[in-house]
Amino acid sequence: MAALRSFALRLVRILGPDPRAATQSIVALLISIIATLIAGLTLASAEDRLADLPGLLLLVPAAIAQRGNVFGALGSRLGTAIHTGEFAVTKRVDTVFGQNVLASMGLSLIAATWLAIVAWAFAGVFGVADAMSLLDFIAVSVMGGVIASLVVLAITIALAAGSTRYGWDLDNVTAPLVTATGDLVTLPALIVGSLVVGTSNTSEIIGLFASLAAIIALGLCLRVGLPLLRRIALESLPVLALASTLSLIAGIVVEKRLSAFLDEPALLILVPAYFGMAGALGGILSSRLGSKVHLGLIESTLVPGRQAWLDIRAIAALAVPIFALVGLSAHLGSLIVDTGSPGLAMMVAIAFIAGIGATLVVLAVAYYGTLAAVRFGLDPDTASIPLTNSVLDLVGAFTLVGTIVLLGVGAT
């Protein structure tokens, strides 16, 4: 018992100099694994829908990432506002809180529409046979995005308010819990949104209305007389456009191996947890680094200094047990719903090998992306998380599919 306690204390010390912060990260990530498992079960249960609507799976990694890109960045900015004493929940739209909330909702609508347009274009370019129409893509993406955004926004605000009351560090809990909430509501919302496809003209009407709403939101974000909102929009839109495009390439990689995922539905259960946990780890690191940049604790050096290195080492240490648990939870989920799985050892191997490969890349992207944001005069809280998540999605898709192919799982 004493040896186990000693091991646990050493692990916590590796995860960071503050045991409380390390514990917060671990608890948040464990909650996120459970939530993404439920999301994976939802995805696996929709395998017939995925087969009937080519292109739908293409949206999944990007839709998961989009919640983290928009609301992970929101949580990071609110966390910095708490650290600097500028945070207060209020109904006034001209405050730091009010402008952040308005910007996040507007960006969610705009990004979901852009995501649908690029997804439709990619489906055509990369030869996804019988893919949905442009308005179908917009209807599904925006319905899923708006419903999920309202829920995730409420959770993010609650976390920010709770952090001021209970002493949580938003940098440690926002990314995993935003990921968890986003996964839980985004995937069911996408499936629900897909139900309107092919039913009379419903999807066309929703698609046209959503397109008009996105144009109006874009105009308001860029022209409204609220300087912080405008700055967030101007800095976020190019990054979100790039992030969505990279995430959709990740979706193409997964879509092209759809047969393998349908042959072994446990792999569908794995997808949300794998991408969600990778994004959560990247989000934690980006948030920590962003806050320390604002507080002057990290300097822009080619080789990470001590403060940055402690956070990088902590995330690397977290990735080892987290991805093993992701593989374990996906296999257990397949047993719960009595669906096909390549076996416990193979599922853990896939998640672990692919996850560690992606994590090595994200450690570099998060650090140097934060420095690049500072170098070009951008807010690292706004730019670093979407950049990290999008690159991670792309690398993660290749490492996941590559590992599946390498291990011969679902080969046809």
Q: What is the pLDDT of residues 313-370, one digit of tens each?
A: 888 888 888 899 889 988 888 888 887 788 899 999 999 999 998 888 888 888 888 8
Tens digit of each residue's pLDDT (9 = 90 or more) over 160-184:
887 777 777 666 676 667 767 776 7
Q: Is the pLDDT of residue 16 over 80?
A: no
The answer to whether residue 2 sits within a structural domain is no
Q: Is the pLDDT of residue 227 over 80?
A: yes
Range of the domain at 11: 7-406
Q: DSSP letters along 363-410, please?
A: HHHHHHHHHHHHHTT--HHHHHHHHHHHHHHHHHHHHHHHHHHHTTTT
Phi, psi of 308 (to 5 degrees): -70, -40
Tens digit of each residue's pLDDT (9 = 90 or more) over 373-402:
777 777 776 777 777 777 777 888 888 888
Residues 6+ apart with CB under 8 A from 43: 50, 60, 187, 268, 269, 271, 272
Residues 6+ apart with CB under 8 A from 303: none
Phi, psi of 130 (to 5 degrees): 55, 35
Residue position matching structure tokens 């925006």:
142
Work out the burial of residue 18: count CB atoms within 10 Å of its CB; fewer than 13 is exposed, 13-18 middle, 19 or more buried. middle
CB 12 within 8 A of CB 22: yes
The answer to whether residue 316 sits within a structural domain is yes
* Amino acid letter, 90: T
CB 64 within 8 A of CB 276: yes
The answer to whether residue 142 sits within a structural domain is yes
Phi, psi of 224 (to 5 degrees): -65, 150
The answer to whether residue 260 sits within a structural domain is yes
Nearest of 284, 88, 73, 279 to residue 169 by alpha carbon = 284
CA–CA gap between residue 276 and residue 326 (Å, rounded): 10
Dihedral through CA 284, CA 5, CA 328, CA 72, nearest 10? -10
CA–CA gap between residue 266 and residue 311 (Å, rounded): 33
Other CB atoms within 10 A of residue 212 CB: 11
The answer to whether residue 412 sits within a structural domain is no
Other CB atoms within 10 A of residue 387 CB: 27
The answer to whether residue 237 sits within a structural domain is yes
pLDDT classification of 412: cutoffs 50, 70, 90: very low
CA–CA gap between residue 72 and residue 170 (Å, rounded): 10
The answer to whether residue 382 sits within a structural domain is yes
* Average pLDDT in the chain: 80
DSSP E strand boundaries for 204-315 = none
Q: Is the pLDDT of residue 193 over 80?
A: no
CB 178 within 8 A of CB 93: no
CA–CA gap between residue 21 and residue 236 (Å, rounded): 28
CA–CA gap between residue 248 and residue 73 (Å, rounded): 20
CA–CA gap between residue 393 and residue 74 (Å, rounded): 20
Number of domains in the chain: 1
pLDDT average, residue stretch 37-58: 74
Dihedral through CA 142, CA 148, CA 153, CA 156, nearest 10? -140
Nearest of 182, 156, 179 to residue 168 by alpha carbon = 156
Tens digit of each residue's pLDDT (9 = 90 or more) over 106-163:
999 999 999 889 888 888 887 776 778 888 889 888 888 888 888 889 888 888 887 7
Pair of tokens at residue 198: 């092919």
Residues 6+ apart with CB under 8 A from 211: 113, 138
pLDDT average, residue stretch 295-303: 76
The answer to whether residue 411 sits within a structural domain is no
Tens digit of each residue's pLDDT (9 = 90 or more) over 235-269:
888 888 888 888 788 777 777 776 777 678 888 88
